[in-house]
Amino acid sequence: MWAGAGFLFFGLALVGIALPFIPTTPFLLAAAFCFTRSSERLNRWFRSTRVYDRVLRDYETKRSMTVRAKLSVLVPVTVLLTIAFILMQATPVGRMVIVLVWVGHLVYFGLVVKTEPSNRG
């Protein structure tokens, strides 16, 4: 069960790389969670992938992310929450919750997660 869920989330993360409106990082985090619980072999395989290395390795080891990785989370989240905010015109409480979730993301990725210099250059 955990392995199947891990592959599902990993596949969705791969789709998210190609389609910018689908968030990659949350799906990779979910895949990491599932693969860790499935088997040591699958967990090692997942952690050896290039996608894991580019997106999650620094976060896991140093609790930091590059600006690009942070934006790869925040941009799709902002777009999706904006759509939800627009669709909830008749629900002020729902809109407040959406704003709080969005501000929480900004605070977490802006102030809590350290910014790592880019590996390029």
Q: In this structure, are 50 and 83 located in the same domain?
A: no
The CA distance from 16 to 119, in Å, is: 22
Domain count across the chain: 2
Distance of CA 91 to the CA centre of its chain: 27
**How do residues 24-62 score in pLDDT, each as one tens digit?**
878 888 999 999 999 999 999 999 999 888 878 877 788
DSSP-derived 3-state class of residue 118? coil
Q: Does position 106 have pLDDT exceeding 60, yes or no?
A: yes
The CA distance from 32 to 71, in Å, is: 20
pTM greater than 0.75: no
Q: Rounded to 5 degrees, what angle do the CA atoms 72, 77, 82 make?
A: 135
Q: Does position 103 have pLDDT exceeding 60, yes or no?
A: yes
Average pLDDT, integer, range 72-92: 89
Asked whether the beta carbons of 64 and 17 are under 8 A apart, the reply is: no
Q: In this structure, are 68 and 118 located in the same domain?
A: yes
Q: Widest CA span of the chain, in angstroms?
A: 49
Residue 120's domain spans which residues?
64-121
Q: In this structure, are 69 and 98 located in the same domain?
A: yes
Asked whether the beta carbons of 2 and 34 are under 8 A apart, the reply is: yes
Q: In this structure, are 10 and 46 located in the same domain?
A: yes
